Structure formats: structure tokens, C-alpha cells
Amino acid sequence: MAEFPATQRYIDTGRLRLIAANPELVAEDLAGRDRLSAVLGARVSDSWPPELYDRRAMEHAARQLTNPLEARWSFWYLVNRRDEEDELVGICGFKGRPDARGSVEIGYSILPQFRNQGIATEAVAALVGWAFAQGAVQEITAETFPHLKQSIRVLEKNGFHFAGKGSEHGVIRYLLDRSSLI
């Protein structure tokens, strides 16, 4: 497993650059696509933001990022590093820092035109590695709906297994335990 410093601001994978959110980036995101594009150095599609990352979610993230204990455990912007032009394709991250048991929940959202290309799978793999390298994390959970087969496949490709009902009606939970990686 790769070693990642706790203060790391980006992670490069085969084709993606995951850029850790910070208050300044989220402020630019709230200001509009052109501003976000300028600070990321990447094209931002007219379809931005992805599902489940609306203005309310951005404002919540901005508040979360001001807390030093939570800031590392927020989300990362996913930039597809293409030859012709880098492009923002989605987000992936955590819903907060690990709890007392060492459990953290991961989530992701990809713009529709970039789905079914392995982007979410690649991003989740990178953040799973990052989270387990932090030491305190013993398990990573994710919640999705049973009809979102693509989302379930992302989790299964990353070693998650079905763990039962989720925290809300109609939601299912997946789990990846650190001990399963040893």
C-alpha cells in the first residue's frame, strides 16, 4: 500500500489528478464555473456540478473545511488529465473524519458524460489507499441505492462487500475492512 502524507493536497493516478478541496477552492466553485476552471487549470463543463453536489452541499463543505480536524476528511475534485485539455469530471471524498471505531464513509459523484469509463473506480481506489495510509482508519463504508448498479460495481471492484441496510430507508451499505487487505 502506498504511503500518503496527511497534508497531501493532490493524488495522481493513471489518468486522474485528485485535488483536495480547501476553503478557497470551494469559494471559487460557489462563484461559478469560470472561476473554478481558472484555479484548477482545467475545463469545467456546463453540466457542473455533478448530482448530489449542489449549492447546499458546497456550502456545507466550505464550513467543514474550516475545521482543521475535518478538513482532511472532506472531498477531492477529480480532474481527468487529458493530452488536449484537463477536465473536471466529478468529486470523491469522505463524509467526515473517522469515528471512534476508525470507520469513515466514502462517496462519489461523476458528471453523466464521464460515467462508465472507470473514473469513479479509479478515484475510489486512490482514496481508499489514502484513507488506510492515515493509520486511524479500520474500515470504509459507502451507501448507495440498490438500483444504482454502476455505483455498486464501483464498490465491488474496490473490494467492498454488501453489509446490509443503510442509514436511510431504501439505502444499502457496503463495507471494506482493513483486515481484508492484509
Residue 19 in contact with residue 77, Cβ under 8 Å? yes
Its pTM stands at: 0.92
DSSP state of 77: E
Residues in the chain, how many? Answer: 182
Q: Give the tens place of pLDDT for each residue, 20-62.
A: 999 999 999 999 999 999 999 999 999 999 998 989 999 988 9
- Each residue's pLDDT expressed in tens, for the chain with a length of 182 residues: 344 444 568 999 999 999 999 999 999 999 999 999 999 999 999 999 999 898 999 998 898 899 988 888 999 999 999 878 999 999 999 999 999 999 999 999 999 999 999 999 999 999 999 999 998 999 999 999 999 999 999 999 999 999 999 999 999 999 999 988 76
Largest CA distance in the chain: 45
Q: Which domains does the chain have, with CATH numbers?
A: 10-137 (3.40.630.30)
* Burial grade of 68 (CB within 10 A; 0-12, 13-18, 19 or more): exposed
Q: At what angle do helices 23-31 and 55-65 cross, to 10 degrees?
A: 160
3-class DSSP assignment, residue 86: coil
